[in-house]
Amino acid sequence: MEFNIRRLNKEDYSTLVKWWDAWPNWQAPPETFLPDTGFIVEKNNIGIVACYVYMTNSKAALLEWIVSNPEYRESDRKDAIILLIQAVERVLKDQGIVHVFTIGRHKGLINIHKELNWMVDENPSYEIVKNL
């Protein structure tokens, strides 16, 4: 069976929270922190990897919160991640977006972005958030 990619819906959030909580040193973002736009890659109705996309009033978007199913043990997880990123790129390009930005610390995910010709700044940076 081939991969299927679809938009995330409200019901997917509880599944993604389980994924985030299962990975060491990760904490699920509050649902109020997430945009309406998100995507998930599935195979045989099993979710493999998902992300959210923050749209702006500029020609830029933020691809964030990439998380994969820690129980998915097939060898094609990397292929699913690549499909997800490339699908988001196509959707954004079709909407007139010129720049896509992301934040990452997971070495494997950073390397995938490099393979897909994303520029990776090697200087560390920090996510800075204030809850109002």
Which pLDDT tens digit goes with each residue over 44-64?
999 999 999 999 999 999 999
Q: DSSP class of residue 28?
A: P
At 1 the pLDDT is 62
Give the DSSP letter string of 31-69. GGGS-S-EEEEEETTEEEEEEEEEE-SSSEEEEEEEEE-
- Whichever domain contains 64, its CATH number is 3.40.630.30
Q: Is residue 63 part of a domain?
A: yes
Determine the Cα–Cα distance for residues 102 and 85; give it in Å rounded to an integer. Answer: 11
Cα dihedral sign for 95, 63, 75, 28?
A: negative
Domain that holds residue 48: 4-115
The domain tally of the chain equals: 1
- Classify residue 126: in a domain, yes or no: no
The per-residue pLDDT for range 70-121, each reduced to its tens digit, is 999 899 999 999 999 999 999 999 999 999 999 988 889 999 999 999 999 9
